[in-house]
Structure 1
């Protein structure tokens, strides 16, 4: 399997008048492969190309959501020949979330299949690609809350354009919509007040700050009942998150 750069180099040489045999010897590619590329050239848009290493286009909307999913429940692991596996874990009680996550990964990297790997209580969505670290430079050894998580400039631009989808990924991975209640004393009478709020949980202070920043971009007030927990509780703000995230299913 030859990468896109070798194919482009071979086609450029053929277009310049170089022979099949000469291109084959110089690039170390079989003559039959060079002939196949000449007779059936690849599409102008290569679905396997890395949008950070080549001039291919990053599907920014899908990437914004996948970035949130990765920061919440995703990881990268290195395999043989510098191939990396992107894994995003989804609870089995949310089948629609599993499907949406698989579709989001496929939208970002349409050149690779998305595998479903069963684990105790969850399904891991797995995609293999050499260039996943290009799209997730936050990858590193150890757990995310034990290392610095800082977005690259181009990632911040994506989130700034699609804060709703970034928040969707975060809340679908490490968030929930819950019913709460409290009491108020009115005219000497204690009354119960029921309300709904969104919660986001993460041990990484850096990821928590990114969630806060995205909420600020949408002018959605938040508060921190605990250092690892964020709450959005005002009725109108919950209604907006309902439109962005909605209940898991």
Structure 2
């Protein structure tokens, strides 16, 4: 039906004429025409048709979802994927929107202003297919395990996955220490990445992804992870960098 509609529109037929001929609304026809290059339609799901989402954008979106994302069901079993982004970091908001669009390219992504943050929102019946970790209650009170296909995508793209995690629940800070030099105390400053999460399962996923990139880490507390070695910070700088 979409192919026939596009053929008629390309031949010069008006939206009204094609709508009368095919019994499809003008809004739907306009969407089919303007999004003719999309890989799958608004109700199609690559995971339900033996496909898979784009590895990099999905890995990033998965990290964001595990940190500051949630799914909620609305009318007609359409789910809203929401990722909360701090107003202070417009680049992070842009990246969240870009990854959401890349995973589900046939529908618009909306930004909803709330107090102190922006929700990046997309509606789709098939979001639970992409995030089977969805469930009731806070994530740290339920089991969070990746499926085999999710793990394979993260193995292929651990950098974007860590980017999503650290942009949600992490930060890059400058620490300092003092050392005696020539009988006097000298101050040294060094960058460090920190990640905190109350979910032991999500913390374990962060550790696993860091191991994939051979990044040394340590746990100063049960719910806090630190990457402070120079070589590890350098790798994370390439994949994450400071928030902006």
* TM score, norm. by length of structure 1: 0.81
Report which stretch shifted further, 215-224 or 193-202.
193-202
Aligned to 1:16: none
Structure 1: gaps spanning 5 or more residues:
1-6, 12-29, 35-39
Match of 1:32 among 22, 36, 44: 22
1:141 Cα offset (Å): 0.1
1:200 Cα offset (Å): 0.7
Given the alignment of the two structures, is residue 120 of structure 1 paired with residue 115 of structure 2, yes or no?
yes
C-alpha RMSD of matched pairs (Å): 2.4
What is the CA–CA distance in structure 1 between the aligned matches of 2:38 and 2:95, rounded to whole Å?
28
What is the CA–CA distance in structure 2 between the aligned matches of 1:150 and 1:57, rounded to whole Å?
18
Aligned to 2:190: 195
Aligned to 1:59: 54
Given the alignment of the two structures, is residue 157 of structure 1 paired with residue 152 of structure 2, yes or no?
yes
Per-residue displacement from partner, 1:24-69 (whole Å, max 9, x unpaired)? xxxxxx98349xxxxx998794243211111444211110110001
Match of 1:46 among 33, 40, 55: 40
Distance 1:174 1:54, change over 3 A: same
* TM score, norm. by length of structure 2: 0.83
1:187 Cα offset (Å): 6.1
CA contact (8 A) 1:145 1:204 kept: yes
Q: How does 1:157-176 map to 2 (within 5 A)?
A: 157-176=152-171
What is the CA–CA distance in structure 2 between the aligned matches of 1:131 and 1:169, rounded to whole Å?
21
Q: Which has the larger radius of gyration?
A: 1
CA contact (8 A) 2:215 2:231 kept: no
Distance 1:31 1:56, change over 3 A: farther
Structure 2: gaps spanning 5 or more residues:
5-19, 25-31
What is the CA–CA distance in structure 1 between the aligned matches of 2:229 and 2:37, rounded to whole Å?
50
1:193 Cα offset (Å): 2.2
